[in-house]
Structure 1
Amino acid sequence: MASPRRNVSILPQNLDAKVVSTPLDTDGNLRLLQQLDRRFQSVRCREPTCGADLSILGAMDHLMTWMPFARGSQPMPLSALLCKKCRKYTCVGCGEKPVTGSQSVTVDKKSGIMVSTCCENGKLFGAWILLSAFDEIELSVQGQKTQHPQSRSRPSAGKGTGNGRDDPLDFGASRQWGGEAPIQKYKGNDGKDDQPIRDILKILPLFLPSPKSKPAPALVAMLRLSFLLDRLATLIANDSITNMTQRKDLYHAVYAFLTVVANHPVLVEILLEQRPSKKQSPGLQALGGEANRRLLKVDTSSAGLALSLATCVHRAVPHAKAFANLSKQFAIEEDVKSEDNKEAVNLCIELLSFYGALKKTGPVAMDRLAPTIKDEWKIYAERNRVTFTDDVLQGPHTVLEGHRFQKGLRGGLSATDSAPGRMKRLWKELADLSTSLPFGIFLKVSETRLDVMKAIISGVPGSPYEGGLFAFDIYLPPWWPTLPPQLNFAMDVGEFGANIFSDSYAPLNPNIHPGGQLCLSLLNMWPGNPEEMWQVNVSTLLSVFVSIQSMIFGEPYPYRNERGRERTGGSHEAKDYNKKVQCKTVLYAMIFWLENDDAKRGIWKDIIATYWRHNGKRVLDVVKKWSKKNELLRAYGGSRGVDLVSRLEKGLVSFNAGLSGQGAPRYMY
């Protein structure tokens, strides 16, 4: 007669109840984890004649011991423990003989590693082991030297733990307790620690409940207390397409895991919620011991809450969309064949798929992430940061006439003759610009020559350029990005017929020379410290535009941009210089756009019309305020005595009348 079964359910049924803890309820999550830990530590051998206590190794050691037996047609479940006394296996979850080969899944074809599960509680144990192992790796990655007591770790077994390092599925990593939580800002990584993390992420989804099953409260607690979500947030915040491509195996595993979680109607909540910052943690397995509670330090204040995973991916989506669309729209033959480029696009698609799963499972929460922008001009500006048109090449009348680098373009290399990797770098940078270009900067890129561009940069509030619109031509020569792009201020005599440099007044800015040359260290046009010069793997087009907007058109006292005048801000000379700059801003960066027929019909006509319709009154108010302290604005040119304020107002009235005649929305006076 068979002996009666024992330990049919090692774990209490209330572990399958509704989740009662919250992300801020650290003590509640710890109680759930410690309850689970006590159950795991109280398992006995299933053999009635033995009944020996079964010890659990440290998480990484358990994985290493399990791996040699996770092969073949009957792979051993991760929840199986070997009794050293009778040499029989017992499932931690159900207390019975482990079911081998049940619903086994191959996770690594090369090594033959297969994962099978015995029971639901055995899956919970597997998740605990994997998350605990992840924390061991994460603590090692953080490089902490101070060890905490390893009260929850068990001695390694003498056999079966040495095979892991030679396997493609390799969890090998130094293990220690203690350390700081990972920060949520990407700082770069050479990928040397990616493999064990990738392997855990590949296996972990197999231990999660199906979308139709409720997760155990302890599982949710484990995910909240583990370092896993913190590390995933850091990885998603990485906006380097190149780095992601180099670490493609890790990122494929990241997005696959997150998509599984996002498709679960309950687990998705952990992706939507903000998490307390972990200032210090000994890792998940150590936290199972009540004595180690003091080693966990978290910040549950509003200032200490980390961004939700959903927020992180929401911010990453525009960049991924832009890169994928650019790669598809402007695929160059050499780069189409590039495996790296295909991988980069695939990673973007996987991120978008994860985002789609989030929106489907948690639509209300995801809708809250989208900022409500009521300012129509801001909405328009964000949607039109970067646009593509071959009008960039054509100018007002003839091919290339409207671009300052037309001579070099006619005689230079085409974009398709670029050095390997140049176009991929350009796609990546254009994707960055389409999502990150600061408010007030607009870029138009040639559809057939992506290395040819035009830009408008608006003056920054608080500067003598406020409200003005300043145009530039940009060309990326064949040696870019080894050397900086070529930029030229396009509002002197030439394209627009303006006279911004030809009168006797002070220059518009010491950094802009007659002829349109820009003197900036970043463009290697001004001597400076090496870190201020163009750096091939650091400097970007975005950094150039930001520098121009902030250092030139955001400078409150441009007089001090001249060498030797750095400390003259607020001086009489600096204020006098500002008055002259304000006059040039009004005449050549405001009135010009309203009066010049070529400008009103040219490449910037859409931007200009929308800009004045929404900003005309505000800009006029700024100029009127200037005129109270700047008499030149009411009598520009001395004996000519041109009233620039009245002329600007007249131009705005005329512009408004033109909009009305076209049936367009009226200027907002």
Structure 2
Amino acid sequence: MASLELNQLLDMGISHGRARAALKRTRGDVMSAAERVFAGEFDDILSDDEGEDQAESNEAYYQEYNQVMKIDDQDEAIDEDSAEEDGDDFDEDMGYDDSIYNESMSDSEPVASDPYAGIFFSKDRVEEIIEPIEKENLVDIYLPNGKSLQVGMLERGEWMSGCPEGGEQSFLFQLYDMLEDCQMPCSSGCGFLFTRHKRDFFSLFPTFPEYTSYLSHTIRLTCPQCGQVTCLACGERADRLTALEKMNEMGKGKERGSSAFAYSSDVLSTTDGPSTTSTPPTSISPPPRELLHCPALQGVILGVGLHMIDRTFSQGQNQTRQAEDRMHPSNKKRKVTEKEEGLSSVSCGLLLSGKVKNARGTGYAGSTDEDRSGQIKAEEMQRLADSAVSVLLQHVQQYLPNINRQGGPATSDYLVHPTALAHLRRRSNFINALLRNDSLLDMSNRDAIYRALFDWLEIVSNNESLASMLGMPQMRPVRTRPLEGSEDSLVVTYEGAPSPRELLEFVAIQAQAALRGLRHVGSTASEETRVDQEMTEEELQTSKEDIQKKAMTKPEGPRDENATLEAFCLRILKSASTIDLRLAETKGKAFVQRMKEQLPRLEEGIAQAERGEKAKEKSVIQMYEEWATRARFQYVDLRAETSSSKTFAWRHAFSAQITQLENTSLPKRSLAIAKELAILTTNLPVAWHSSIFLRVDEVRVDVLKAMIIGPEGTPYENGCFLFDIFLPLDYNYKSPVVQYMTTNGGRYRYNPNLYPDGKVCLSLLGTWSGPGWISGQSTLLQVLISIQSLILSEEPFLNEPSWADMGGSPQSKAYDANIRRMVLLDAMANNMKTPPYPFENEIQTHFRLKASAIRTQIEKWKTLDDGKMIHGDGWTDANAGPNTNPDIRKSFDGAAAEVKRMLCELEGKQPPAPVDMEASNEKKKKIWRR
């Protein structure tokens, strides 16, 4: 019995005993053998009756064909030199040990077949692969209607490109080599030879339906000698029903898909060139059964289809990026780091460095009339690109292995070809790119492409052979360089990236926040109902049918958009839940548990900084950023206790307005707030040099508080600045209302934009001239980042329009020195003494983790101080009469000493000896007199 046929069945998870019996009964016909096994014909043969000889045979097979080495928890050195010498045939054993993705299958639970079992994946992995530079090869294709069409070819180098795992390269090479120009015998054995042509399988038509329509006309050949029909891909007989097709007809009685196929000769007969339409069809008909005949054909179609998706998606990204560059020609191009990916464009700006540029005047400088023509054009380019990709995804997904296929499953739905697995793993970077978007608002605005994406994920996650790759870190190409001494090869560098499941978690968090926003805007709740507002297990397990029913039965009128967003959010949560379920089946519950421990999540209650020996192993910066990421967004109770149990007061500057809107809301407002919360959950900037923390009332999600950490390199560095925020009844038509709270009891004015009475001057808030709030476009996140970067700036003196040209002047330096003294006394020391609710723990943790850095900062600030006392307004003339307020008359040394004392208390250290400030000041006066 040929070992190749046996190994093909073993590779699909069929036990050795059943595989041998099936091959014997079908006389070596792999297709029929697999069909009979999956049909249950050999269930009486146990999977564990194979003996020691067979165990050795299986082990030899996996070593020869999969080339997988199962290793212990130690990293294996990889010989890169030998990998480069192998070139396209690189089949290096992979031994990457990663605590997250370590596949310890010690569970006693049953685990389904995992084609990548034993291979270790890591997000920290970097690989350099030599790939050929393929020249465009155009060929003439003769269509069934007699016309000819010139198309490109998917050459071998592109077919095999990507970062290889296990024995993937061997399978890719063998299939391509088998389908290149060669002769193939008739399946009846009559001796007639058919001729295969590469163009029949690997032609790149203008559209995918044109490709499949052409393939459906050429894939089945009738022998002129015996009349038997043979599949051109696998060489097997193709004119009779398979065992699975017979079962489908007898068991379900469904109409077979080939009769409903929409893309037949009509597509080819009416198309003479590239199609210009990008509008999705109303429905995608099932593929013809002849294109589902065998796994080899499945591997070819998916390889070509995924190549077309990758090409179309990349072209769309480039076109959109070019449109955005034309809209902002002054923006300097830079490399976006892995950490910054996923942040919205407005939130990643401050992460570039601790220092921020000053705006001219207050808020945004410029006219109130904003030209949005460039933005509108970029949005239109994005819509067209999304439409093209979504159409392609809908067509290609019809050929994914799917046991729930309309009309019943085909053989290739069970017997997945190894090349299909390889292409799906290598060519799915579009999934990560779309999930890395990390903005539910943007996803809902681009619903066409994201509906197609979640349809795709649903099929993949429901197939046990494919689901495991959704939990794998993805290898993506990040750069190329010429291969030294070669003009026709490149060295492509691949780097590990988060798995699709990990990226989906960011979106799932936003979906939960959006659902919460839709359900709890403007409502009150009893004490019992305020405790647990998380998604229930039933909500997480909502079926696709329930989601579709909810979307179809949504009421007419203003709430239509709300119902659509709710259905979209439930779809996201369902996708995450399904992937976890399939990963548990293929890799075990222990793997899923370890993965979930590493996924991002919102902390319930107050987040605590890491302690103990494990925390000491991390750098302070890493520890701080990990803590801040967990603590940046939380739900809290912002109500204040009152004498009456029937009325509510609020720990908030806008308590009266909040109370007036109890149990009052508008559908459009609810939708806007839901989208805002979705953005804020994962997009608030977090960095060592500056972060933003947000607290939302657990029921009244229109009531918020924010704390911004002063950016590095500014007079506000490491100070804690608090703001009360309320989303009014006409939100998002109008901007939120914001009150500044860090004023030292209404005595300190930290900035020309921040008044002692709490007023915040910013054009987005309508409190200053310049580009203002745009209904449906502007967001609360933009407001927060504008305050962080434009108001808490490096040289705040310039925020006053009349002084905008006095950068670096003595007046500006004196203004900065006065702000630094106020920051030390109030934004640091006072906040540590009596930390405001609900940021008590965040303030203490911030100063405890940054204690050493703040001490260094104080010493640096001391060299910049001018020796004067604090002037609370910041506008007071230095020659004005004395102010008797003792808090205002603090010097730099006095404020610094207070900060150091509070830092020692937080760290549990002995505070430094007090300094005689009067004697020190008298000494300074004598020096100045001299």
Q: TM-score, normalised by structure 2?
A: 0.52
Q: Which runs of 5+ in 2 are unaligned?
A: 1-25, 32-60, 68-89, 93-126, 133-156, 162-168, 249-253, 261-282, 317-340, 345-378, 404-409, 522-558, 601-614, 873-881, 912-930
1:53-452 to 2 correspondence within 5 Å?
53-54=195-196, 56=200, 58=203, 60=208, 61=210, 63-64=212-213, 80-83=219-222, 88-98=228-238, 100-103=241-244, 113=286, 122-136=294-308, 139=311, 188-189=382-383, 191-193=386-388, 194-206=390-402, 216=418, 218-219=419-420, 222-223=423-424, 228-242=427-441, 244-245=443-444, 246-247=447-448, 249-259=451-461, 268=469, 271-277=472-478, 300-301=492-493, 305=494, 308=497, 310-311=498-499, 313-324=501-512, 327=515, 331-332=519-520, 338-351=563-576, 353-354=578-579, 361=587, 363=591, 374-375=619-620, 376-391=623-638, 400=649, 402-411=651-660, 413-414=661-662, 416-420=664-668, 422-439=669-686, 440-452=691-703
Q: Relative to structure 1, is the Cα distance of residues 242 and 82 closer, same or farther in structure 2, using a 3 angstrom cutoff?
A: farther
Q: State the 1:316 CA deviation.
A: 4.0
* Alignment gaps of 5+ in structure 1: 70-78, 145-183, 281-292, 501-506, 660-664
Deviations 1:107-147 (A, max 9, x none): 98987736769999x31321211331343455456669xxx
Q: Aligned to 1:544, what secondary structure does the other structure show?
A: helix
Residues 46-95 of structure 1, C-alpha deviation per residue, up to 9 Å, x if partnerless? 3526533255264744522577x9xxxxxxxxx95234857753124542
Shift of 1:346: 1.9
Equivalent residue, structure 2, for 1:563 = 801
Give the alignment partner of residue 890 of structure 2, picking from 626, 632, 642. 642
Question: Deviation per CA, 1:140-185, whole angstroms, max 9, x where unpaired?
Answer: 56669xxxxxxxxxxxxxxxxxxxxxxxxxxxxxxxxxxxxxxx99
Counterparts of 2:804 and 2:628 in 1: how far apart (Å)?
34
Distance change (3 Å), C-alpha of 1:356 and 1:550: farther
2:762 to 511, 514, 520: 520
Shift of 1:489: 0.9
Q: What residue identity is the alignment partner of 2:505?
A: V
Quick one: distance in 2 between partners of 1:88 and 1:242? 56
CA gap of 1:335–1:621, structure 2 versus 1, over 3 A, is: farther
Q: Compute the displacement of 1:578 (Å).
A: 0.5
Contact map agreement 2:513 2:681 (CA 8 A) in 1: no
Q: Deviations over 1:340-387 (max 9, x none)?
A: 312322223313543675687495996998799654544432222122
What is the rounded CA distance, in whole Å, between the counterparts of 1:485 and 1:565 in structure 2? Answer: 28
2:795 corresponds to which letter in structure 1? Answer: Y
Name which of 193, 210, 213 aligns with 1:51. Answer: 193
The DSSP-based 3-state class of the residue aligned with 1:103 is helix
Distance 1:132 1:593, change over 3 A: same
Task: Tell me the distance in 1 between the aligned counterparts of 2:775 and 2:716.
Answer: 31
1:383–1:137 Cα change, 3 Å:
closer
Letter in 2 for 1:519: C
Determine if contact 1:128/1:222 at 8 Å carries over to the other structure. Answer: no
Superposition RMSD in Å: 4.8
Aligned partners of 1:119 and 1:335: how far apart in 2? 39
Q: Contact 1:100 / 1:116 at 8 angstroms: preserved in 2?
A: no
Give the Cα–Cα distance (whole angstroms) in 2 for the partners of residues 566 and 327 of structure 1: 45
- Aligned residues of 1:276 and 1:300 also touching (Cα < 8 A): yes
For residue 580 of structure 1, report the CA deviation from its aligned partner.
Answer: 1.2
Task: Report the number of matched residues.
Answer: 568
Distance 1:602 1:35, change over 3 A: closer
Structure 2 letter corresponding to 1:470: F
Partner of 2:789: 550
Find the aligned partners of 2:583 and 2:807 in 1 and give their Cα distance: 51
SS in 2 for 1:21: coil
Report the TM-score, using the length of structure 1 for normalisation: 0.70
Asked whether the equivalents of residues 505 and 576 of structure 2 are also in contact (C-alpha less than 8 Å), the reply is: yes
Q: How far apart are the structure 1 equivalents of 2:396 and 2:575?
A: 19
Post-superposition shift, 1:453?
0.9
TM-aligned CA deviation for residue 417 of structure 1: 1.3
Distance 1:94 1:481, change over 3 A: same
Q: Choose from 505, 520, 533 the match for 2:772.
A: 533
Larger RCO (CA under 8 A, 6+ residues apart): 2
Residue identity opposite 1:256 in structure 2: E
CA distance in 2, matches of 1:279, 1:213: 36
* Residue 481 (str. 1) matches residue 732 (str. 2): yes
Cα distance in 2 for partners of 1:486, 1:337 equals 24
The superposition leaves residues 306-332 of structure 1 with CA deviations (integer Å, 9 ceiling, x where unpaired) of 653x34542441342342255258735
Amino acid at match of 2:396: I
Q: Which amino acid counterpart does residue 634 of structure 2 have in structure 1?
A: T
CA–CA distance in 1 between the matches of 2:836 and 2:768?
36
1:609 aligns to 2:866 (yes or no): no
Relative distance call for 1:563 and 1:314 in structure 2 (3 A) is: same
Q: Whole-Å Cα distance in 2 between the matches of residues 666 and 140 of structure 1?
A: 59
CA distance 1:262–1:233, shift in 2 (3 Å): farther
Q: Residue 548 of structure 1: CA displacement?
A: 1.0
Cα distance in structure 2, aligned partners of 1:623 and 1:46: 85
| Per-residue Cα deviation, 1:571-619 (whole angstroms, up to 9, x for no partner) | 2221111011112212221232244xxx447433232333333334543
Conserved? CA contact 2:752–2:797, under 8 Å: yes
